[in-house]
Amino acid sequence: MENRVRTWKLKEPILLYNINGTLNKDGSILEVAMLQMQIGDHVEKTVFIVTDIGPEDVIIGWIGYASTTLK
């Protein structure tokens, strides 16, 4: 628990693939975390998967369909 975020174990693991289609080195998603996130005036609670995604800390998948503009 690197950032002291409470996580929950999934009942069933989810296979995790990299953007190039190869299986992620961790193999599966085993945990999730519920966090409140704020970007500008937009605030929402969202579920984050917990796994090794290389040098990135987080990938925010909803940005593409949330009509949110980042500055």
pLDDT digits (tens, 9 = 90+) for 25-70: 888 889 999 999 888 898 989 888 887 777 766 766 655 555 555 5
C-beta atoms surrounding 31 within 10 Å: 16
Taking the model in full, what pTM does it have?
Answer: 0.62
Is residue 15 predicted with pLDDT exceeding 70?
Answer: yes
| Helical (H) or strand (E) element with 48 | strand 42-50
- Comparing CA positions, the residue from 48, 47, 37, 45 lying closest to residue 70 is 37
